[in-house]
């Protein structure tokens, strides 16, 4: 009996090739796209054209499914997306933290709501076009994630939060392919989306201007405050906490005679600390909201030597992690890391590229 898989269709090349590969492997394939936009809402104009869940992407996904002769559904999750992703995005920036809405979307939308929808439809799996590898590890007796073959496209960093139950019902067919090969296959299969550009910007932010987006949505007045240098001296006025993130250089409006960077944000005092590039480097961090994948967890006081990533595009670096208390670990880098950013994710790997787990950066260790 054929197994059924629901493919999360974005209208792009990756999810389209995912659907074809699974159909060719003998699965019953169903395509589903999440509709997260509202055409009459001026705040969501970005979702009409270009985003990964935009109106034109929904239409592209429908056309791909028609060409493959597979069922297609569009599910409206606008309310849930607003509450679980956009509101979170706004709150984090207002608190002086830098959110990762793509991770929030994965956690809440794809691998919770959409996976539940897939199982409700009687499917065995949900599949996505993420570049990551997943299998059941007989020795560990656990499902594991590993970095993709295409290291430049690897997306394991944003999937550290998957649970064993979610991994049991999830497929990632593209993890063994280079992105160039995926585009070649799309062209060979006759897909009109074979040369469609990858989505780069946050899908719900018009023109990638998240600051204006926050201003429009916020019920609070974004108050100006003061820049201070690392010695505690006032050196200028800033536009408001949500406008800045750790490591930022552009848009500060300061002429200090040296390259200036945001090195810290103190939201309760409405202060942004400015320093040199050297001041942006930290020796470690504290992470919370942890999830473990290749292991069931570590005990309080236990240390592990790992590789870590503190942003998606970063190369893994060596570090030691130590559990300090329930759901909190200390991470000490072998070499200082640049722009450790509270609110972002940190993902842990072993020396074979398996995802050990990860968490949310709570604070920096200077």
By annotation, the residues acting in catalysis are: 105, 203
Q: Are 299 and 323 in contact (CB under 8 A)?
A: yes
Handedness of CA 119, 124, 128, 132 (dihedral sign): positive
What phi and psi, each to the nearest 5 degrees, are found at residue 32? Answer: -135, 135
Residue 14 annotated as binding?
yes
Measured at the alpha carbon of residue 131, what is the angle toward residues 351 and 171, in degrees to the nearest 5?
100
Q: What distance in Å separates the CA atoms of residue 79 and residue 180, rounded to the nearest whole number?
A: 36
**In sequence order, which residues have a C-beta less than 8 Å from that of residue 319 and are 6 or more positions away?**
284, 305, 306, 307, 308, 331, 332, 333, 334
The gap between the terminal CA atoms of the chain, to the nearest Å, is 57
Residue 34 annotated as binding?
yes
* Beta-strand pair 125-127/72-76: unpaired
What secondary structure letter does DSSP report for 86? I
**In sequence order, which residues have a C-beta less than 8 Å from that of residue 167 and are 6 or more positions away?**
134, 143, 144, 145, 293
Residue 9 annotated as binding?
yes
Residue 15 annotated as binding?
yes
Residues making up the binding site: 8-15, 34, 129
Residues making up the binding site for ATP: 8-15, 34, 129
């Amino acid at each position: 009996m054929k197994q059924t898989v629901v493919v999360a269709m974005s209208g792009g090349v990756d999810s389209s090739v995912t659907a074809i590969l699974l159909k060719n492997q003998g699965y019953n394939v169903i395509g589903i796209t999440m509709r997260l936009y509202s055409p009459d809402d001026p705040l969501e104009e970005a979702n009409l054209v270009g985003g990964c869940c935009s109106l034109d992407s929904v239409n592209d996904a429908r056309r791909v499914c028609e060409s493959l002769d597979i069922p297609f559904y569009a599910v409206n999750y606008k309310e849930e997306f607003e509450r679980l992703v956009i509101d979170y995005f706004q709150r984090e920036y207002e608190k002086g933290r830098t959110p990762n809405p793509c991770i929030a979307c994965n956690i809440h939308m794809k691998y919770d709501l959409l996976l539940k929808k897939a199982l409700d439809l009687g499917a065995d799996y949900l599949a996505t076009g993420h570049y990551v590898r997943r299998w059941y590890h007989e020795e560990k007796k656990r499902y594991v994630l590993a970095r993709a073959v295409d290291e430049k496209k690897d997306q394991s960093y944003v999937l550290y939060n998957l649970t064993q139950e979610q991994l049991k019902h999830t497929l990632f067919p593209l993890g063994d392919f280079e992105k160039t090969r995926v585009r070649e296959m799309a062209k060979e299969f006759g897909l009109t989306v074979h040369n469609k550009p990858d989505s780069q910007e946050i899908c719900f932010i018009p023109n990638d201007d998240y600051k204006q987006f926050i201003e429009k949505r916020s019920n609070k007045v974004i108050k100006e405050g003061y820049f201070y240098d690392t010695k505690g001296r006032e050196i200028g006025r800033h536009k408001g906490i949500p406008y800045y993130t750790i490591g930022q250089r552009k848009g500060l409006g300061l002429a200090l005679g040296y390259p200036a960077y945001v090195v810290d944000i103190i939201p309760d005092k409405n202060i942004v600390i400015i320093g040199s590039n050297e001041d942006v480097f930290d020796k470690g961090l504290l992470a919370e909201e942890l999830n473990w994948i290749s292991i069931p967890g570590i005990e309080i006081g236990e240390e592990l030597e790992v590789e870590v990533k503190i942003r998606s595009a970063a190369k893994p670096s060596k570090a030691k992690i130590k559990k300090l208390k329930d759901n909190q670990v200390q991470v000490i880098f072998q070499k200082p890391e640049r722009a450790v950013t509270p609110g972002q994710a940190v993902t842990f790997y072993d020396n074979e590229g398996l995802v050990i787990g990860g968490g949310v950066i709570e604070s920096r260790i200077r």
